[in-house]
Amino acid sequence: MGSYDMISILMATYNGEKYLVEQIESIFAQTFDDFKLHINDDFSTDSTWDILLDYSKKYPDKVIVSQNEKTSGGAQLNFMNMMLSRQDEYIMPCDQDDVWLPEKLADAYGAMLLAERKYGKDMPILVHTDTNVVNESLDTISPSLKKLINAPMSLNQKQILMQNNVTGCTVLYNKALANLLLQRPSYFVMHDWWLAILANYFGETIYLDKSSVLYRQHHTNTLGAKVVGTIEHIIDRLLSCKKIKDAFFCSYIQADSFLKAHYDKLNDEQRTIISAYASLREINKISRIVVMKKNNLFRQGFLRTVSQLFFG
């Protein structure tokens, strides 16, 4: 391909020895090779660091590795720290345990170029795709994560505060969006959700309706794919009331964090809506429903709305 490194791939690792080699090899098997792979290990206790050192020696111009002196506290923090450290032309987060399909980089980069021609390079842009959900052995569970969990293809500025439809391992974002990440938010749920909020409010989100990743499900996943709408899922949700309530509460705090971090860039209407959503953490259930109805603060999807009314 080209003579310079076009895309900075950011991989966060922690005790990932079982699947790490397969993931890195899938990156080197891409049809687009203008990339540099930056890997930060979160003080693994298995052989992950040794594997990374071997790759950095084998590909010194392609693989740059670093390691935290102690664990950061989770994948989302490791990713956020990496993203804050880089304001490169194009950036792509990468999980340690998936497998990238060969056209992943080429497809995302092509969509990014089209979007930048349309909106300009100064427009914050996020490109994301679907995934092929697989088990530990890479056998297909579902060819579409979006269909499996009944995820919305797009969300408006209200809905993105309440739910995330962007899967981090499929994301490519540009420098204009990276420039909005200058300091760690006071609170955020996941790095991909924070990116999605930024793109929704200050830029453009481009969805490619195709799978770009074999999204591996196993017992150590930070977040897994859950089939929405099945009896099993509904029962699981009913038995996890506290977990659901906690998730809503976290989204309220995240909204408040976003409001404070980018207050000057938001217009009055946006500030009012975000403030209203963030206030839900401080009022009783009846008052919450009143505020939600007044400001049309409802998730997309019937079951998600019902869950919000009962547990939000």
The CATH number of whichever domain residue 95 belongs to comes to: 3.90.550.10
pLDDT digits (tens, 9 = 90+) for 7-52: 999 999 999 999 999 999 999 999 999 999 999 999 999 999 999 9
Residue range(s) defining the domain that contains residue 70: 7-216
Q: What is the pLDDT of residues 215-233, one digit of tens each?
A: 999 876 544 555 444 445 4
Mean pLDDT of 287-305: 92
pLDDT, one tens digit per residue, over 42-86 is 999 999 999 999 999 999 999 999 999 999 999 999 999 999 999
| Residues 262, 199 share a domain | no
- Per the model's pLDDT, the better-predicted residue between 236 and 302 turns out to be 302
pLDDT digit string, tens, across residues 144-196: 999 999 999 899 999 999 999 999 999 999 999 999 998 999 999 999 999 99
- Evaluate whether residue 224 is within a structural domain: no
- What backbone torsions phi and psi does residue 95 show, to the nearest 5 degrees? -75, 165
Instruction: Give a yes or no: residue 2 inside a domain.
Output: no
68 with 138, same domain: the answer is yes
Whole-angstrom CA distances from 273 to 40, 71, 259 are 37, 36, 10
Please report, for residues 12, 35, 101, 229, the alpha-carbon distance to residue 62 in angstroms, rounded to integers and kept in the order given.
16, 7, 19, 43
Share above pLDDT 70 across residues of the chain, in percent, rounded to a whole number: 92
Pick the more confident residue, 129 or 229.
129
Show the tokens assigned to 88: 């490169």
